[in-house]
Chain A
Amino acid sequence: MAETKRIFTFLLRFIAFCTTLSAVIIMISSRQRATVLVFSFEAKYSDTPAFKYFVIVNAIVSIYGFLVLFLPSKSLLWRLVVALDAVFTILLTSSISAALAIAYVGEKGNPIAGWLPICDQVTKYCNQVKGALIVGFISVVLYMLLFLYSLHTVLNPLLLEKS
């Protein structure tokens, strides 16, 4: 029972690491050059601070996830892992919500502010950003699960043993 739990959490952490890494890679590799009327511009992820924040946070979390995979199971650092899980899950949720807010404006525009949507001009860039956001959302869900699991284990080991 403890073995299956350990393997299950290891697998979950590995998948979470993969999703954050792929979110970073997909977002970084999204760029497209488009010509509108006379001038041409290039759409990159680094034009928007929200996407830069998304990339930075996901990079930090994937480094953390990579290091945690190699932690031996009886070490005392697992207490730190619980606290760091909390911090990084919250950072992840904030980064995904910021990126989603800006991506929504990019797709639908904001008529009151006079902001036109840009998705129909740089379609490939837009689709790639959407893909990165979907993968980022999956990573948020996985990290939430991991965090709730470690919280539950640390808070109530007696309850865990009884059930």
Chain B
Amino acid sequence: MALQSGEKLPMFIGHIWSKQKSRWTLLGLRLLAFLAAAAATLVMVLNKQTKTFVVATIGTTPVNLTLTAKFHHTPAFVFFAIANGLVSIHNLVMIMMDLLGSKLNYKGFQFPMIASLDMLNLALVSGGANAAAFMAELGKNGNSHARWDKICDKFGPYCDRGAGALIASFLALALMLLISFLSILNHKLVNSSSHNSHNNIIALPN
């Protein structure tokens, strides 16, 4: 009898403890992803550089040309900013729901919606980050076949800030990947005793 209760009790405590710990881990990861995506959006939206070039010299007067590099000249960067904005809003809503939404009760419907939304936002942020990455590569290296010159040697700080935004976005992408799979795993492990979900584990997509 004593051996039996000694066996059962640590397992029970381990179950509760791991649920709390994984909940706070997930919340911390979501906060990091929200910060990373918000940082990427802000840095890209506020990215601007003005530079004056001397194009020609007529007599002794130089002819100046002032060019401003802004993010909205490039549709890929606009998409990047919108995608990261949406992802940060999604993470914010998920954090709020986790902290404050335990009163609202749509138990059966809640988890698939969270998982699907996580995956959709993952696809969105991956699309945005990748498009901006290839545009940045084009700006950095140019394209000799299409006669497109590189612009990063002229607009150095603009390129550097854009690179910072890209790094933040890829960090948000890695975190979202981790969060999606962790939340599904977490849900499976936590609910494995209460829902007879050994059926769930064997059930296959076909």
Residues of A at under 8 Å CB distance from B? Answer: 2, 5-6, 9, 41, 43-44, 47-50, 53, 73-74, 76, 78-79, 81-82, 86, 89-91, 93-98, 100-102, 104-106, 110-116, 118, 144, 147-159
Q: Is B111 an interface residue (CB 8 A)?
A: yes
Chain B 97-139: CB-based contact to A (< 8 A → 1; otherwise 0):
0000000000010011001100100111011111111110111
A34–B4 alpha-carbon span in the complex (Å) = 83
Q: Is B96 an interface residue (CB 8 A)?
A: no
Q: Is B36 an interface residue (CB 8 A)?
A: no
DSSP majority for the A interface? Answer: helix
A50–B146 alpha-carbon span in the complex (Å) = 14
Residues of B at under 8 Å CB distance from A? Answer: 67-70, 73-76, 79, 108, 111-112, 115-116, 119, 122-124, 126-135, 137-139, 143, 145-149, 151, 180, 184, 195, 199-200, 203-206
Residue on B with the closest CB to A72? B206
By a CB distance below 8 angstroms, the chain A residues around B184 are: 155
A52 CB to nearest B CB, Å: 10
B74 CB to nearest A CB, Å: 7
Contact (Cβ within 8 A) B204 A78: yes
By a CB distance below 8 angstroms, the chain A residues around B76 are: 97, 101, 104
Contact (Cβ within 8 A) B206 A78: yes
Residue on B with the closest CB to A149? B205
By a CB distance below 8 angstroms, the chain A residues around B206 are: 2, 5-6, 9, 73-74, 78
Contact (Cβ within 8 A) B131 A100: yes
A5–B133 alpha-carbon span in the complex (Å) = 39
Residue on B with the closest CB to A99? B134
Contacts between chains A and B (CB distance < 8 A), count: 135
A147–B146 alpha-carbon span in the complex (Å) = 37
A91–B115 alpha-carbon span in the complex (Å) = 18
8 nearest A-B pairs in the assembled complex, by CB-CB distance = A94-B130, A101-B76, A97-B127, A47-B145, A157-B203, A97-B131, A101-B131, A98-B134
With A47-B143, A110-B73, A110-B74 known to touch, is A98 a contact of B203 (CB < 8 Å)? Answer: no
With A6-B206, A90-B126 known to touch, is A113 a contact of B200 (CB < 8 Å)? Answer: no
Residue on B with the closest CB to A73? B206
By a CB distance below 8 angstroms, the chain B residues around A50 are: 134, 138
By a CB distance below 8 angstroms, the chain A residues around B112 are: 151-152, 155-156, 159
With A9-B206, A101-B135, A156-B112 known to touch, is A115 a contact of B148 (CB < 8 Å)? Answer: yes
Contact (Cβ within 8 A) A94 B205: no
Other A-B contacts than A97-B76, A105-B138, 16 sampled, CB-CB below 8 A, are A41-B145, A44-B145, A86-B119, A94-B129, A97-B128, A98-B133, A102-B135, A110-B73, A112-B73, A113-B139, A113-B151, A144-B123, A147-B119, A148-B116, A152-B116, A154-B200
By a CB distance below 8 angstroms, the chain B residues around A73 are: 204, 206
A43–B146 alpha-carbon span in the complex (Å) = 8
Instruction: Return 16 A-B CB contacts under 8 Å, by A number.
Output: A9-B205, A9-B206, A79-B204, A89-B123, A97-B79, A97-B127, A98-B130, A98-B134, A101-B76, A105-B74, A112-B68, A113-B151, A114-B151, A154-B203, A154-B205, A156-B108
A157–B119 alpha-carbon span in the complex (Å) = 19
Contact (Cβ within 8 A) A113 B116: no
